[in-house]
Structure 1
């Protein structure tokens, strides 16, 4: 059995959703009371007066997607089984539950199952008279010639931009266009030194050699694009930064530092330090994380996502939200230090010249030696 806490494998996702909802800090989340196989987390405070923003996909990427439901981000999240797209019926149930006259936007990661199921649900919803638009996120640059790049951690930034636009009362077309513009200015790349463990399956051994990392490993454990023969933090950051910088070019950037689930806080802090001294340092305006935002169960890896900023994106990223998983952006600045006088634990003294005391000390020392 894999190293994984669980009770009933078939109920694992349902149980996890319950735990997430009862611990939500704003108390603003609910689950649709419907077929247990349909797992839809919605805003409990939603009134359908604005454009709804819906996303989702396979579970195992927590806090995505339910952790981004709340004021200022997603209206609903549709949760599939582990690494499996939610059904058409589940997506359609979410659309019907939260969509009013203003319509809804679906934000979908670029995987075949998600595209098909969300797309079919959108077509069915349109037959019900609902206005539905869809945006596909394809931010992974691991394979430069790939005509269908995967959607990975940068999806969280699209959630934030679209959620802000919807919260401002913008029309469905305006929300869609802003989300598409974010997709067009978004690039992500990740590495891992160990893939993830799945509950109930045997541990995978030997795929990634010790001292090596896979570049471009997929968030479902798909093999990476290449192997890098180092664990050196500076070298790995440089390996990620070079292709990302080639895509982004010049301009101010917000950078999401995403923990894929199994990297310690100490290591993530170290990697953030390396990023702050990398070739991107003069272009970083905001850091988001380091934190798990779009994880891959317990994968020992991380990813970087770059969003090229404009005034609208900057406002969107910094707007407050009421969610479980979003991380507030931090304005990037060099390390601050405070000057402090060194402490000395030695005693400074001037030797005395007392012949009588010297004679006594010498006599005691001689007796002890004898």
Structure 2
């Protein structure tokens, strides 16, 4: 697939510059780094950072701003940022009340974030970390990956931090949210890295990959292509087993990069129909590209069981490139 770019080795840096050129009212780039920071910091607020490899846009820089992240690190495509980049983000986000790192469960991200935390602590910055592992396609809970549900953790933790809660309080609400968020994905076509000429794996027109990650990994199984309604039934049936659907749920329908909004809304309608049939109360639907995998054709579904506080935090004011929510 042809790509709109200049030099694949400079694509991340040029992407970040373009992001700032387009949204300089909200964000800026930390000089000499691949870190995007919130333009206006709040004194004494817990700082929130996240990040990982590029290729998942609008994540993670798209969630930097009021009510969400204070800084985001963009590594090379599908490659963890180095500990030095995490440290730069921690230092930029620190406003005197500590910094919480929201990290997806990938070895490189976790390891480099932990190293950066040690360096930050040595400089007198209090830090804490939560690890998001919402992908139920992986049976081993310890090795479950962080995927689109991570965005909802950014929102909840960001809103709590905006209330000037303590680092421990922000961490606790993030952990509670993580325990109630579950996701699963399917792909109809693999993604192609900027430096590659072929997709990361091959699928025929009659096949789909079930349980894919966000780094071009193959899924847990390969199945015959199903209709949108059948895919929604499949994903709901798996996720419902791990979410307390006696509570109201937020539903996140996430495009993987090249799935048209037309198709995403068809899938959203199918999902709501199935959940209503199962007597699940859908508090709100979110539909769009929230955490992608380059140009992958596919969809992910996230269910988030909420309580009163989580609902309030999800609805609180936020203004970022990707997420705008007005207080209700």
TM-score where L is the length of structure 2:
0.95
Partner of 2:258: 262
| Pair 1:292-2:289 in alignment | yes
CA RMSD of aligned residues (A): 1.7
- Among 26, 29, 37, the alignment partner of 1:42 is 37
Deviations 1:260-285 (A, max 9, x none): 11101111111111112114553243
| Alpha-carbon shift at residue 47 of structure 1 (Å) | 3.8
Deviations 1:282-309 (A, max 9, x none): 3243334310011111100110111111
Q: Distance in 2 between matches of 1:65 and 1:167?
A: 19
Q: Distance in 2 between matches of 1:326 and 1:278?
A: 26
Partner of 1:154: 149
- Among 1, 21, 27, the alignment partner of 2:25 is 27
Partner of 1:245: 240
Partner of 1:274: 270
Partner of 1:54: 49
Segment drifting more, 310-319 vs 279-288: 279-288
Question: Within 5 A, what are the aligned runs for 1:127-142?
Answer: 127-142=122-137
| Alpha-carbon shift at residue 147 of structure 1 (Å) | 2.7
Q: Distance in 2 between matches of 1:239 and 1:327?
A: 31
Q: Distance in 1 between matches of 2:41 and 2:121?
A: 21
| Alpha-carbon shift at residue 176 of structure 1 (Å) | 0.4
Q: Distance in 2 between matches of 1:147 and 1:209?
A: 32
Q: Distance in 2 between matches of 1:289 and 1:211?
A: 29
2:274 aligned counterpart, secondary structure: coil
TM-aligned CA distance change 1:168 to 1:93, over 3 Å: same
| Alpha-carbon shift at residue 327 of structure 1 (Å) | 5.8
Q: Distance in 1 between matches of 2:201 and 2:15?
A: 30
- Among 60, 64, 68, the alignment partner of 2:63 is 68
Q: Distance in 2 between matches of 1:185 and 1:163?
A: 17
Q: Distance in 1 between matches of 2:227 and 2:100?
A: 42
2:143 aligned counterpart, secondary structure: coil
Q: Distance in 2 between matches of 1:43 and 1:328?
A: 17
Partner of 2:177: 182
Unaligned runs of 5+ in 1: 332-370
Segment drifting more, 3-12 vs 134-143: 3-12
Residues 245 and 280 in structure 1, CA contact (< 8 A), matched pair in contact too: no
Q: Distance in 1 between matches of 2:97 and 2:252?
A: 31
Q: Distance in 2 between matches of 1:22 and 1:33?
A: 14
Which has the higher Rg, Structure 1 or Structure 2? 1
Q: Distance in 1 between matches of 2:313 and 2:151?
A: 12
| Alpha-carbon shift at residue 321 of structure 1 (Å) | 0.9
Question: Within 5 A, what are the aligned runs for 1:1-370?
Answer: 2-24=1-23, 27-34=25-32, 38-204=33-199, 207-249=202-244, 250-279=246-275, 282-326=279-323, 328=325
Task: Point out 4+ residue stretches in structure 1 off by more than 6 angstroms.
Answer: none
Residues 46 and 166 in structure 2, CA contact (< 8 A), matched pair in contact too: yes
Deviations 1:111-134 (A, max 9, x none): 000000011000110011110000
Residues 275 and 281 in structure 2, CA contact (< 8 A), matched pair in contact too: no
Aligned residue pair count: 325
2:44 aligned counterpart, secondary structure: coil
TM-score where L is the length of structure 1:
0.84
| Alpha-carbon shift at residue 48 of structure 1 (Å) | 3.4
Unaligned runs of 5+ in 2: none
Residues 3 and 197 in structure 1, CA contact (< 8 A), matched pair in contact too: no
